[in-house]
Structure 1
Amino acid sequence: MNQLTFLGTGDAMGVPRVYCDCDICTEARLTGINRRKRSAVLIHGDGEDEPFMIDCGPDWRSQMEVQGMRMVQTLLITHAHFDHIGGLPEWADACRWLGVKGKLYAPREVIATIQSQFPWLVRHMDFLETDADIELGGWKVRSWKVCHGHNGYSYAYRLEREGYTWAYCSDAIDLKASEKQPLYGLDLLVLGTSFVHELAEFSTRSVYDMVEAQELLQDLKPDQTYFTHMSHDVDMRQNYDLDQGITLAVTGLKVKLGE
């Protein structure tokens, strides 16, 4: 059985934010319902297919410890912002100590940025491009560039296997028709929503809020949707009366991918 495990569901700063004493950050420190590591997921099964992670942020080591895992040899990266690649040095060190060659998949321009930031990583991993369709862990994977608003661009991934199709789109906003096209016909969508309703001026923003996301979903119509990449604006104790089929993802949540 193939499944998806949420290793983290937080935005770039995580929750609690170190400088913040808001009610949600305070609760996260005290009881942890709202404690969120940076967004990443693990795709794995009980067969021979190799597991892989999407993104490798600065919480990678602690995410692995929570899962009782010592290594994941394959990564799929959405873009080269720190909250998505900050764990690569620790991952590379694990590759070195275990004597394995990691496999890092990403679009060509993302690979170029990673290599410019961490030029020594090439000693411990192979960089493999996703600009053309690839197969990974038994999944046919398609990548495409999506608008990341004020923060430039990210990439989303559409994965298909044995009649089941899902997509991961953690960092996007204001998608145009061509960017939305691969998000139709999905059994499951993982979508980033940093705020419930963000009031900042639109040109300064970089990720959908939940109000906008629900409007998007009325068009896309996936069977299931999981919101991730959530900031300290989102309180897991609250009932936001979201549309049917939407779930706020929490760390450790496991979701079946197919029958």
Structure 2
Amino acid sequence: MTLLGTGTSQGVPVIGCDCAVCQSADPKDKRLRTAALLQVGGKNIAIDCGPDFRAQMLRTGIDRLDAILITHQHNDHIIGLDDVRPFNFRNNMDMPVYCTAPVETELKQRFAYIFESQNRYPGAPQVQIHRISKSQPFEVEGQQVIPIELMHGRMPVLGFRFGNFAYLTDVRTIAKEELAKLNGLDTLVLSALHHSEHHSHLNLEQALKLVQQLAPGRTFLTHMSHRMGLHQQVSRKLPENVALGYDGLTFTVD
């Protein structure tokens, strides 16, 4: 698993900001928009494709992408969809995209030219939508995936569990029946926006309480704003089994 991006919708540094984090020279304080890459059995599976998708794919050095899982329809998680075109051309395949019905609707509105059935623009991205929901596990390239519904404020979004690993971003609350899907984790990636109360995201304190409740073996935090603070300073204050994620962090999951 590689964390392709660990920042919020504005990224870090934020345009025009002169705070210590945005001016930091530490590469771990440079955060592209949140996304991840799971590599398993010779297959590459992306989670989300935001505005930094092209740069993230170039940085990984991969020449094939086998599927994209989309957590929800906010711009910072879908707007890079057009950049699947090189994979279409190189791999001679439509890109499988796994998403909920509301995400599919949003994609067809924002990327109408992709789904045009008549007078389709030559060279437009080629995608194949696979509808998913919170209630039904599914398989991607031989990998079993358990979807977990999270509430991003009032918006339902999906997290994903692969074996004993779970990836949860843009979460504020989780219903009891969905929490039950997260028992026995070895590794958790969990969003933690910053230190203040927020209507649609866990802050650091709330994220740590959820980690304590779920008791995974280890946790990496993601989707952090510049208001989280400097990577080195915040890291020193975290529990032993919790670490700030950073762009390019790679680890093995079971």
Settle same-fold status: TM greater than 0.5. Answer: yes
Taking the TM superposition and a 5 Å limit, the aligned residue runs for 1:1-259 are 4-27=1-24, 30-45=25-40, 47-48=41-42, 50-91=43-84, 93-98=85-90, 99-122=92-115, 124-131=126-133, 132-149=136-153, 152-160=155-163, 165-195=164-194, 197-199=195-197, 202=198, 205-234=199-228, 235-238=230-233, 239-258=235-254
Partner deviation per Cα, 1:2-35 (whole Å, 9 max, x = no partner): xx011111111110000211111011xx453310
Shift of the alpha carbon at 1:57?
A: 0.7
Percent identity reads 31
Aligned length, in residue pairs: 240
Within 2, Cα distance between the matches of 1:147 and 1:229?
15
TM-score by length of 2: 0.88
Q: Extract unaligned runs of 5+ from structure 2.
A: 116-124
TM-score by length of 1: 0.86
- Please tell me whether the aligned partners of residues 65 and 87 of structure 2 are also in contact (alpha carbons under 8 angstroms): no
d(CA) in 2 for partners of 1:229, 1:154: 14
Letter in 2 for 1:70: D
1:141/1:33 CA distance change after superposition, 3 Å: closer
How much does 1:194 deviate? 1.0
Question: How far, CA to CA, are the matches of 1:246 and 1:31 in structure 2?
Answer: 20
Q: CA shift at 1:181, angstroms?
A: 2.0
> Following TM superposition, by how much is the alpha carbon of 1:241 offset from its aligned partner in structure 2, in angstroms?
1.8
- Report SS of the residue matched to 2:251: strand
CA contact (8 A) 1:130 1:142 kept: no
Q: Give 4+ residue runs of structure 1 displaced > 6 Å after superposition.
A: none
Amino acid across the alignment from 1:153: P
Distance 1:96 1:138, change over 3 A: closer
Cα displacement string for residues 193-244 of structure 1 (whole angstroms, at most 9, x for unaligned residues): 111x114xx5xx2111111111111111111111010110131121442122
Name the Cα RMSD after superposition. Answer: 1.8
Unaligned runs of 5+ in 1: none
Question: What's the CA shift for 1:67?
Answer: 1.4
Structure 1 equivalent of residue 122 of structure 2: none
Q: For 1:228, give the aligned amino acid.
A: T
SS in 2 for 1:252: coil
Deviation at 1:97, TM superposition (A): 3.4
Paired with 1:107 and 1:212, the residues of 2 have a C-alpha distance of 27
